[in-house]
Structure 1
Amino acid sequence: MLRVCTARSARLCLSPTLRTAMRSSTPVFGGVSFVRLNSSKTPDAAVPNLEIQTHLPSFDETASSAVDAGLSITDQIPQIVGEASSHIGYLSSIGMARSWWWPPELIQNVMEQIHVYSGMPWWGTIVTTTILVRFLMFPLYVKSSDTMARNSRVKPELDAINAELMAATDMVEGQRVAIKRKKLLAENGIKNRYLAAPILQVPVALGFFSGLRQMANYPVDGFTNQGMAWFSDLSLADPYLGLQIITASVFISFTRLGGETGAQQFSPTMKNVFTILPLLSIPATMNLASGVVLYFAVNGACSVVQTLILRNKWFRTKLDIAEVVRHAPTPGAPSKGIIETFKENMEKARLQAERRQTMQDNEKKMQEAAKELKGNKAIKIVRRSDFQKGSRK
C-alpha cells in the first residue's frame, strides 16, 4: 500500500538510519532531477532546482524511483534524505521549526524557506538570513541613535534634574521634579522607549544560537558539506579558529566606534573592557559548531557597517538623525573605575529606594489623617444651652 508523507507525518516515513544519513545526493522524484546548490559541488555540476515542492515526497515512491534507476539499498539512503531536505517541511519532520513564534523555531522556519526557494547552500542561507534580520531591525537602531543624540544635547540639565529627583524626600516634590523632567524631554523630542531597540537583539541572537546549534547537532542534511573555505563542515568546530578571530575583531571595532547606534560615548576604561571581553570569547566559542560562529561573525560585521553608516554625517542628515553633542568633562572631577562606579550606582539605588519608601509611608499617613478628618466632619457639636432650650419647649 502506498503511503504518502506530509510535512507533519514525514517522521514516520523516515527511519532513524535514514534521518541520520547526511551526505549530498542527486534525488529523482516524479521524473524530475533535483540537484541542490552547495559548496561541495563544482560550478559545472551545480544545477538549480526545476521545481519547488511544499510537501515531503512519499518514501515508497522515492524508493521505487531509485530502484528503477538501478540504485542499491545503500545508495537509496542518502537519496531519500537528500530528496526530503529539498522540500518545505523537512525541518518540521525531524522535530524542528514547528512554530512561528518561538525565536529558535522562527529562525529555522525562515532559513528553510530561504534555503529551499533560493537553492543556496547552508552557509549562504545563514549569511542571507542574518543580513535580512539586521536590515529589518535597522529602522529601530536609527530611532535609538537619534534618541541618544538628543539626550546628549540636554545631558547637563537632565543630570541636574535627575540629581534633584534623587534627593527629593516628599511625594509632592518628587512629582514636581518628575513633571519638570518630562517637560524637558518633550521639548527636545526625546522618546526614551526607542533606547530599548538594541535590547531586541538579545532574543534574536538567542534564537539564532539555539536554532543553529540544534541544526548542527542533528545534523541537518547539508550541514556536513555545505560550508565554505576552511569550514566546509558547518556541524563541526572551526579547526583554525578563523571565525572566532573574525568575530572578536569586528566586535572590538564597533564598540570602539560608538556601539551599534554610533552614538554611545564610552569612557576609556569601558573601551578597554570591550577590547578584552571579545578576546576572551575566542576560547569560549572554540568548540561551537562553525554554523553558529558564522552567524556571530556575520552579525558582528553587520554591526560594524551599521555603526559606520550611523556615524556618517551625510547619512545622519538624510535619515534626519540629530548630531551627537560631546560635553567636556568637569574640571577637577576624579576619574572613576568600573568597580567604583558600580558601587556608587548601587549606593544611589539604595538611597533612592529608602527615600521612595519614606515618601510612600508619609503619603500613607497623610491619607489616613485626611480620612479621619473627613469622618470627624460628620460629627455635630451641640452645646449644653441647646439641650436646655429644647427641654423648655
Structure 2
Amino acid sequence: MAALLLLRTCRRPTIACTYKYTYQGAALANPSYNRRLASTEAAATSVQLANAGGLVGYWQTLSNSTPVAYMQDVLIKIHDYSGLPWWASIVLSTFLLRSVVTLPLTIYQHKITARIEKIALEMPAIVEELKKEAAMAKHKFKWSEQQTQIVYRRSIKKQWQNLIVRDNCHPMKTMIVLWGQIPLWIFQSVALRNLVYMLPDPTSIQAQIVTTEMTIGGFGWIPNLTVVDNSYILPVALGLINLAIIEVQAMSRTRPSTRLQNIANNVFRGLSVVMVPVACTVPSALCVYWVASSSFGLAQNLLILSPEVRRSVGIPKTQTELCEPYDLLWLKIQQRLRLAERPPADKPAAK
C-alpha cells in the first residue's frame, strides 16, 4: 500500500518541469540570468496559487512536514561531512539510519518472539492443571458443561496474560519493526524526492545547489540521479532483493506455514513485483535508496539467523532456532531449483 501511495508523491511535480535552477553567484551579465530568475519567481507563484486553491493535498502536506524537513537536513549534512558523491551518500545515510533505527528494533522483536515461544512451553502443564480444577469445580458447584467451559477458557486466558506480563512480551510488540521501518522509509523517500525537485522552496539557494549536485552525483549507467533509470537495472534489482527477503524468511521457518502466513507471503510477493514498475517512474536517487534499504534488510535477516550473532545480542535460545541456518537455506534453494531430490530436514538447536 505504501509503495502504491509513494508512486504518486515520487513522480515529478508539474512545477519542477518548468523550473530551471541557478546559483546565487551567477554573473549578472549573463543574459539568461533574468530569464532564470523569472522562472524561479513563476515557480514560487505557482506553489502559492496551488496552496491557495487547495490543490496540494495530502502528499504536499507530507512533503512540507517537519519530519521530512529534518530528514532532508540529515541527508544534506551526511553528504557535506562525508564528501562522498550523492549516490554513495544516499547509501551511507541509509545504512546509518537503518543501523540506528531498524536494527535495534529487529533485535528487540526477536527477543520478544523468543520469550513468547518459551512461555508457550509452560502452557501445557498449566492447561492440564486448569482442566483438573475445572472438573472439580463442576462437580462441587454443580455447573453445567457450558458454565465449566466458560470458566475454563477464562482461566486459560488469564494465565496466558500473567505469563506475558511476567516476561514483558506482549504479542503486539512483534510488530515493532514495522512501526519504525515504515515511517523511516516514507520520510526518507519523500525527503529525497524533495531534494531532487527543489522542494518545498524552489527559490532556496541550497535546494538549487543540491539538485545540481545530484545531476552529476550518480555512477556508472546513471550519472544523473534526478532522472529515471532507463536501463531498469535498479528497479529489477529492487524487486529481486525484496523477493529474496520474503523467501529467506519463509525458508528459515522450522514449522509448517499457516494459512495466514501463506497469504501474507503472497501479498508481499505481489508488492515486490509492483515495486518494479513504481521504481521505473521515479528519479534514480529514490531507486538507489530503495535498493540500499532492501539490501540492508536482506543482510540483516541473514545475519540474525546465526546462533552466534543471536547470543551476542542477547536473543534467548529456543527450540525452533536453527543450528546451521545457512546450510539449511542453501539446501532448500537447491531443492526449489530441483538440484536436490528431497527437501532437507530442519535441524533445531540442541537444548
Indicate the TM-score class for this superposition, using the shorter chain for normalisation: 0.5 to 0.7
Partner in structure 1 of residue 228 of structure 2: 237
Shift of 1:275: 3.7
Q: Highest CA radius of gyration, 1 or 2?
A: 1
SS at match of 1:221: helix
Does the CA-based 8 Å contact 1:127-1:295 persist in structure 2? yes
What CA distance in whole angstroms lies between the structure 2 residues aligned with 1:168 and 1:224? 73
Aligned-partner Cα distance in 2 for 1:193–1:325? 22
Contact in 2 for aligned 1:103/1:203 (Cα 8 Å):
no
Look up the match of 2:185. Answer: 205
1:105 to 69, 82, 87: 69
With over 3 angstroms needed to count, the CA separation of the structure-2 counterparts of 1:20 and 1:307, relative to structure 1, is: same
Unaligned runs of 5+ in 1: 1-15, 28-58, 79-94, 328-393
Following superposition, the deviation at residue 276 of structure 1 comes to 4.2
- Paired residues of 1:148 and 1:264 also in contact (CA < 8 A): no
Equivalent residue number for residue 163 of structure 2: 184
Does residue 308 of the first structure (1) align with residue 302 of the second (2)?
yes
**How far apart are 1:106 and its partner, in Å?**
2.0
Aligned mate of 2:316, from 322, 332, 336: 322
Query: Aligned in 2, Cα 1:269/1:177: closer, same or farther, shift over 3 Å?
Result: closer
Matched, 1:118 2:112: no
- 1:258 and 1:296, CA in 2 relative to 1: closer, same or farther beyond 3 A? same
Matched-pair contact (CA < 8 Å) for 2:63–2:194? no
Q: Return 5+ residue gaps in structure 2 as ranges.
A: 1-14, 37-59, 132-145, 200-210, 322-351
Deviation, 1:118, is: 2.4
Q: Cα distance 1:245–1:264, how it changes in 2: closer, same or farther (>3 A)?
A: farther
- How many residue pairs match? The answer is 247
1:282-338 CA distance string (max 9 Å, x none) = 1233111111121110000000111111101111111121234349xxxxxxxxxxx
Out of 207, 212, 220, the residue aligned to residue 221 of structure 1 is 212
Q: Any residues of structure 2 matched to 1:366-377 within 5 Å, and which?
A: none
Whether 1:148 aligns to 2:107 is no
Give TM-score scaled by structure 2 length: 0.57
**Is the aligned partner of 1:254 residue 2:245?**
yes
The structural deviation recorded for 1:272 is: 5.0
SS at match of 2:319: coil
- Judged with a 3 Å threshold, the aligned counterparts in structure 2 of structure 1 residues 282 and 324 are, in CA distance, closer, same or farther, namely farther
What is the distance in 1 between the residues matched to 2:148 and 2:85?
A: 63
Q: More displaced, 216-225 or 111-120?
A: 216-225
- CA shift at 1:21, angstroms? 4.1
Q: What residue identity is the alignment partner of 2:248?
A: L
SS of the residue 1:325 aligns to = coil
Mapped to 2, the partners of 1:224 and 1:136 lie a distance apart of: 29
Kindly tell me: are residues 295 and 264 of structure 1, through their superposed partners in 2, closer, same or farther at Cα, counting changes over 3 Å?
farther
TM-fit CA distance, 1:127 = 1.0
The equivalent of 1:359 in structure 2 is none
Q: Which secondary structure does the structure 2 equivalent of 1:258 belong to? A: helix
- For the 8 Å contact 1:258–1:264, the answer to whether it is kept is no
Q: Distance in 1 between matches of 2:115 and 2:76?
A: 41
- 8 A Cα contact 1:263 1:324, kept in partner: no
Q: What displacement does 1:187 show?
A: 5.0
Q: Indicate the residue corresponding to 1:129 in structure 2.
A: 93
1:269 aligns with 2:284: no
Does the C-alpha gap of structure 1 residues 235 and 149 become closer, same or farther in structure 2, counting only changes over 3 Å? same
Partner of residue 389, structure 1: none
Q: Deviations over 1:91-150 (max 9, x none)?
A: xxxx99998x73322211101111222222221221111111111021121010121123
> How far does the alpha carbon of each residue in 1:201-226 deviate from its partner, in whole angstroms, 9 at most, with x for none?
11111112222222223482322221
Distance 1:123 1:77, change over 3 A: farther
**Which one has the bigger helix percentage?**
2
TM-score by length of 1: 0.52
| 8 A Cα contact 1:22 1:222, kept in partner | no
Q: Given that residues 254 and 320 in structure 2 are in contact (C-alpha distance below 8 angstroms), is that contact kept between their aligned partners in structure 1?
A: no
